[in-house]
């Protein structure tokens, strides 16, 4: 069981969070878009820390689970907590795949594929604009001001 509050943001909270997004972040997070490969700010990030949802701040992936998939998008073999990442069957663009979303705010993150490394065999392929990054030892973002686990340092 996660220590984080997975209650969705209220409509007013969501409006405030969305107001702070760039056009590209809105397109990807809210309209299920995909950023171009090999251009995301986190693709080559090697710093130890935690990747969080860009919209609501929920911790999603640790740098220790990141690997170079060669696909052009940041890739991870497992989330911080399975409860933090929702899965949706996606048949868009004539493909059959599994979309991954933030379990708290339902923002689009990317897709998960069954071709990753051990121990999970999964490749969570993410859009950099869907993420924020907190280096180990620094306070995790808490844009919903919930305190508790949200106010703890990354790591």
Active site residues: 125
Q: Cβ atoms within 10 A of the Cβ of 130, count?
A: 28
Rounded Cα gap, residues 51 and 30, in angstroms: 18
| Selection from 56, 61, 63, 66 nearest residue 25 by Cα | 56
Percent helix, strand, coil in the chain (nearest 5)? 20, 25, 50
Classified as helix, coil or strand, 15 is helix
CA distance 96 to 87: 13
Residue owning tokens 């508790």: 148
């Amino acid at each position: 069981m996660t220590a984080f509050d997975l209650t969705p943001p209220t409509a007013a909270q969501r409006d405030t969070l969305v107001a702070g997004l760039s056009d590209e972040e809105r397109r990807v997070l809210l309209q299920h878009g995909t950023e171009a490969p090999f251009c995301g700010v986190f693709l080559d990030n090697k710093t130890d820390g935690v990747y969080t949802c860009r919209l609501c701040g929920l911790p999603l992936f640790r740098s220790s689970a990141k690997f170079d998939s060669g696909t052009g998008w940041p890739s991870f073999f497992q989330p911080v907590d399975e409860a933090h990442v929702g899965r949706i069957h996606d048949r868009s663009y004539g493909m059959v795949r599994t979309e991954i979303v933030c379990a708290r705010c339902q923002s689009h993150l990317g897709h998960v594929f069954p071709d990753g490394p051990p121990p999970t065999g999964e490749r969570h392929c993410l859009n950099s604009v869907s993420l924020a990054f907190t280096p180990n030892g620094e306070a995790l973002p808490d844009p919903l001001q919930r305190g508790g686990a949200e106010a703890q340092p990354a790591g």
